[in-house]
Amino acid sequence: EQIEKGGYEHFMLKEIYEQPSAILDTFRGRLLANEGIIKMSGIEDNMKKFLNADRIIIVACGTSWHAGLVAEYIFEDLARIPVEVEYASEFRYRNPVITEKDIVIAISQSGETADTLAAIKLAKSKGAFVFGVCNVVGSSIARESDAGAYTHAGPEIGVASTKAFTTQITVLTLMALRLARAKGTMSSSDFRRHLIELELIPDKVKKALESDAYVNTVAEIYKDAKNCLYLGRGYNFPVALEGALKLKEISYIHAEGYPAAEMKHGPIALIDEQMPVIVIATKKGHYEKVVSNIQEIKSRSGKIIGIVTEGDESVRNLADHVIEVPDCSESLSPLLTTIPLQLLSYHIAVKLGKNVDQPRNLAKSVTVE
């Protein structure tokens, strides 16, 4: 096992550090930035279906569901296709309205999650076209799907999902860009610019990993917190949910993710000097609005950890700690902002002496209901 961990103390840390190369593996043969092309056979072979679809319904569980939420922003923003994201366990029992003009995308690392598998069987029986985004090759969901795209993240052993999440977002981004080009919702120059930006992501993830030592010192300060709040807006709202889930899963600290603007409809009541609030405040999209959310937290004495773009000044002046990630376009930012949140939960769990790779009560793959 020591050999399999490749010199890392835990599989989770190894998998966090594998993300630059895992994302490159996801690109391989698909992203041809110099030629200005994205090649994905699962899409090319079914292009008509995708172009005629009324909407995309994404079904998934856990971290994969969070990747689905990021995809909702990406598909709607870039390819202008309406998207609904569903917990597979709710979808399958809800008597959902599904037609032949729906495309159902099932996202699953293991490809074995019982609820996700049942959801796609239901969708197929109603005539929908099912596209699987799985990591494990030949898994049940991959086999049950009409078409699909593997993430090629390599084996993920840590129960808390890390590289599976970022590679799922990578595949979904490639899909959305390919469809945006085919639908003409994006100009060819914008398309090319996105491809070049995407190609830079593995190096930027590497750069984001350089915050590790600093994140470790932040973890030391907050490891005894009883509750944590994670906030983000737009593309980074699902990242806030994922950050909170990571902390819960391995450190057993209660954490909640919220859209930053919803804070005033409830969570703000919880904020005092005991409450660390992790705010994703990168310099795009809703930056100014997030800064004013941070001011609201500060005036209630909350402790603020900001995830910011390199060189940020405004948040630095307000927050107790800032963790920097490289600049990138907004739609790609979840791939970078996720990194310090993974590291933060990892270091807190290690300091608390928890079983990081196999947290209590959790399974890597939930194959029963």
Does 120 bind ligand G6P (CB under 6 A)? Our answer is: no
Are 298 and 275 in contact, with CB atoms under 8 Å apart?
no
Does 110 bind ligand G6P (CB under 6 A)? Our answer is: yes
Please list the alpha-helical segments (H only) found in 252-363.
Answer: 287-298, 314-318, 334-351
Does 167 bind ligand G6P (CB under 6 A)? Our answer is: no
Does 162 bind ligand G6P (CB under 6 A)? Our answer is: no
Q: Nearest residue by C-beta to ligand G6P? A: 62
For the chain, the maximum distance between any two Cα atoms, rounded to a whole number of angstroms, is 56
Distance between CA 124 and CA 260 in Å, rounded?
Answer: 37
Are 129 and 46 in contact, with CB atoms under 8 Å apart?
yes
Which of 249, 250, 258, 248 shows the shortest CA–CA distance to 227? 248
Q: Which of positions 2-21 make contact with ligand G6P (CB under 6 A)?
A: none
Chain centroid, CA 307 distance in Å: 15
Does 358 bind ligand G6P (CB under 6 A)? Our answer is: no
Which of 206, 182, 188, 269 shows the shortest CA–CA distance to 23? 206
Tokens (6 digits) for 85:
């994201």
Strand blocks (E) in the chain? 31-32, 37-38, 55-60, 83-87, 102-108, 129-134, 147-150, 227-232, 254-259, 276-281, 303-309, 321-325
Q: How far is the CB of 251 from ligand G6P (least distance, A)?
A: 15
Does 161 bind ligand G6P (CB under 6 A)? Our answer is: yes
Residues 203-222 vs ligand G6P: string with x where CB under 6 A?
A: --------------------
With contacts defined by CB under 6 A, how many residues of the chain interact with ligand G6P? 16
Judged by CB under 6 A, the residue of 19, 108, 145, 166 near ligand G6P is: 108
Of 64 and 282, CB closest to ligand G6P: 64
The residue type of 273 is E
Return the C-alpha torsion angle 154, 158, 163, 165, nearest 10: 120
Does 364 bind ligand G6P (CB under 6 A)? Our answer is: yes
Q: What angle do CA 244, 214, 247 make, to 5 degrees?
A: 15
Does 113 bind ligand G6P (CB under 6 A)? Our answer is: yes
CA atoms within 13 A on the CB side of 238: 23
Does 268 bind ligand G6P (CB under 6 A)? Our answer is: no
Does 116 bind ligand G6P (CB under 6 A)? Our answer is: yes
Judged by CB under 6 A, the residue of 70, 159, 169, 177 near ligand G6P is: 159
Of the candidate spans 16-24, 107-115, 195-203, 313-321, the one that interacts with ligand G6P by CB under 6 A turns out to be: 107-115
CA atoms within 13 A on the CB side of 151: 33
Q: How far is the CB of 356 from ligand G6P (least distance, A)?
A: 13
Judged by CB under 6 A, the residue of 26, 64, 89, 236 near ligand G6P is: 64
Of 186 and 255, CB closest to ligand G6P: 255
Residues 44-63 vs ligand G6P: string with x where CB under 6 A?
A: -----------------xxx
Q: Under the rule (CB under 6 A), what is the footprint of ligand G6P?
A: 61-64, 108-110, 113, 116, 159, 161, 362-366
